[in-house]
Amino acid sequence: MQSKSHACPPWTVRAWPPLLWQVENLRPLLLRHLGTRVTNPGDQLSRTAGQTIWAAAANEGQAGMAWDWIQLSRGLVAMADPLSVVTNLRLVNPDGDVLSPLESLRHLNEIVHALPWQDEVERVLMVSEQAA
């Protein structure tokens, strides 16, 4: 079941050209919602779940982020795995050193939590519910 099509499948973000981004410059990165889809409509045994993808144009190229989400209850969605944000961003510290994936996770999660992604997921879930 797909509730909203993506401009591209969310996990292809990993194949986008890498984009180096200074950690202190993350705030101006204006990501926009490209799409959200429901991959599991949920039933009595499993929760509703899906994927969402966000992107931003930067001077140096396109930045993208995608992650899985799960519906905990009506009106409440969360990242399925905060350690599993897919992105083409390669974060660098002020000295220009690329951060390790583990070091990057904290910053990537800060970006995710600043986005209105839960509103977008809930909107897609409401549309799916009305269509059913």
The answer as to whether 4 is a domain residue is no
Please give the residue range of the domain that contains residue 45. 10-131
Q: How confident is the model at residue 7 (pLDDT cuts 50, 70, 90)?
A: low
The answer as to whether 3 is a domain residue is no
27-41, 63-77, 83-97: the lowest-pLDDT one: 27-41
What is the distance of C-alpha 16 from the center of its chain?
A: 15
Domain count across the chain: 1
Query: Around Cβ 55, how many Cβ atoms within 10 Å?
Result: 22
The answer as to whether 46 is a domain residue is yes
Please count the CA atoms within 13 angstroms of the CA of 71 that sit on its side-chain side.
Answer: 23
- The residues, ordered by sequence, that sit 6+ positions from 92 with a Cβ below 8 Å of its Cβ are 20, 21, 22, 23, 98, 99
Q: State the CATH number of the domain containing residue 54.
A: 3.10.450.610
Query: Around Cβ 31, how many Cβ atoms within 10 Å?
Result: 17
- Report the length, in residues, of the chain: 132
Q: How confident is the model at residue 1 (pLDDT cuts 50, 70, 90)?
A: very low
Residue 2: the pLDDT is 41
Statement: residue 105 has pLDDT above 70:
yes
The answer as to whether 103 is a domain residue is yes
The answer as to whether 24 is a domain residue is yes
The answer as to whether 2 is a domain residue is no
The answer as to whether 1 is a domain residue is no
